[in-house]
Amino acid sequence: TLVFTEEDKYGLYSNLLFKYFLAEGIVCGHDLFVASAKEHPDNILKELPAPLLDDTYRKELGDEAATRSEDVQDSMKIAWRYQNLPKMEASPTTYTKFGHYYDLSKKMSPELCQSIKWHGFYLHEESSFESKTKAWNMNSGYARLLQSIQRIISQEGFDGSDPQKKQRNVLRIGIQSLGSILWGDDICCSDTPEDAHSLTKFLYVLRGLLRKSLSACIITVPAHLIQNKAIMERVTNLSDMVVGLESFIGSERETNPLYKDYHGLVHVHQIPRLNSLICDVSDTKDLAFRLKRKQFTIERLHLPPDLSDTVSRASKQDLAGSAKLLSSGCGAMAIGKKHLDF
Distance of CA 302 to the CA centre of its chain: 21
What DSSP string describes 42-59? HHHHHTPEEEPPHHHHHH
Mean pLDDT of the 124-130 span: 70
Q: Quick check: is 15 in a domain?
A: yes
Phi and psi at 112, nearest 5°, equal: -70, -40
pLDDT reported for residue 339:
41
Q: Quick check: is 71 in a domain?
A: no
Q: Quick check: is 320 in a domain?
A: no
Number of domains in the chain: 1
Name the 3-class secondary structure at 186: coil
Q: Quick check: is 342 in a domain?
A: no
Phi and psi at 49, nearest 5°, equal: -70, 155
pLDDT reported for residue 341:
44
Structural domain for 37, as ranges = 2-53+98-291
Whether 322 shows a pLDDT value over 80: the answer reads: no
| Residue pLDDT, tens place only, 74-103 | 444 545 555 555 555 555 444 456 678 899
Q: Quick check: is 149 in a domain?
A: yes
Q: What percent of the chain has pLDDT over 70?
A: 70
pLDDT reported for residue 270:
87
Whether 238 shows a pLDDT value over 80: the answer reads: yes
Q: Quick check: is 339 in a domain?
A: no
Provide the Cα torsion 13, 15, 16, 20; round to 10°: 140
For the entire predicted model, the pTM comes to 0.77
Mean pLDDT of the 25-46 span: 94
Q: Which of 191-200, 220-229, 236-245 is predicted least confidently? A: 191-200
Predicted confidence band at 330 (pLDDT cuts at 50, 70, 90)? very low
Nearest to 5 by CA among 193, 140, 179, 210: 179
Q: Quick check: is 300 in a domain?
A: no
Residue 261: CATH number of its domain: 3.40.50.300
Q: Quick check: is 82 in a domain?
A: no
